[in-house]
Amino acid sequence: NFPLCSRARRSSLSVKAAMEMGTNSTEKFYRIPKGKGPHSVGCTDLMTENAVEGSFLRLYYPSCDTTNNEEAPWIPDKEYYQGLSDFLNMYRVVGERLFQYYVGSVTCPAKSNAAFKPGEKYPLLVFSHGLGAFRTIYSAICIEMASQGFVVAAVEHRDESASATYYCKKKSVSERQEESTSNMEKEWIYYRRLKTGEEERCLRHKQVQQRAQECIKALNLILKINSGEEVMNVLNSNFDWNSLKDSVDTSRIAVMGHSFGGATVIESLSREIRFRCGIALDAWMLPVGDDIYQNSVQQPLLFINSEKFQWADNILKMKKLGSNDTNKKMITIKGSVHQSFPDFTFVSGEIIGRFFKLKGEIDPNEAIDISNHASLAFLQKHLSLKKDFDKWDSLVDGIGPNVIPDTNIDLSPAEPE
Query: How far are the Cα atoms of 93, 171, 210, 388, 400 from residue 393, in angstroms, in the given order?
Result: 48, 53, 34, 10, 10
Tell me the Cα Rg of the chain.
21
* Weakest mean pLDDT among 111-115, 233-237, 262-266: 233-237
Residue range 72-93: average pLDDT?
93
pLDDT digits (tens, 9 = 90+) for 39-53: 999 999 999 986 788
Evaluate if residue 261 carries a pLDDT over 70. Answer: yes
| Contact (CB, 8 A) for 133 and 142 | no
Write down the pLDDT at residue 160.
96
Evaluate if residue 122 carries a pLDDT over 90. Answer: yes
Residues 6+ apart with CB under 8 A from 89: 4, 5, 6, 7, 10
Q: How confident is the model at residue 413 (pLDDT cuts 50, 70, 90)?
A: confident
Write down the pLDDT at residue 6.
40
Evaluate if residue 232 carries a pLDDT over 60. Answer: yes
Q: What's the whole-model pTM score?
A: 0.92
How far is 133 from 260, CA to CA, in rounded Å?
A: 10
pLDDT digits (tens, 9 = 90+) for 395-409: 999 999 999 999 999
Provide, rounded to the nearest whole percent, the portion of the chain with pLDDT above 70: 89
User: Superfamily assignment of 7-159+201-405 in CATH?
Assistant: Alpha/Beta hydrolase fold, catalytic domain (3.40.50.1820)
Q: How confident is the model at residue 102 (pLDDT cuts 50, 70, 90)?
A: confident
Q: How confident is the model at residue 19 (pLDDT cuts 50, 70, 90)?
A: very low
Residue range 269-292: average pLDDT?
97
Evaluate if residue 302 carries a pLDDT over 80. Answer: yes
Write down the pLDDT at residue 362.
93
Residue 344: phi and psi, rounded to 5, are -55, -30
Evaluate if residue 139 carries a pLDDT over 60. Answer: yes
How far is 135 from 60, CA to CA, in rounded Å?
A: 11
Evaluate if residue 417 carries a pLDDT over 70. Answer: no
pLDDT greater at residue 237 or residue 327: 327
Mean pLDDT, rounded, of the chain: 89
pLDDT digits (tens, 9 = 90+) for 27-40: 445 789 999 999 99
* Weakest mean pLDDT among 88-92, 101-105, 152-156, 168-172: 168-172
pLDDT greater at residue 146 or residue 173: 146
Question: Helices 92-103 and 78-87 sit at what angle, rounded to 10 degrees?
Answer: 120
Q: Which residues are annotated as catalytic? A: 259, 282, 338
Residue type, 234: V
Write down the pLDDT at residue 26.
43
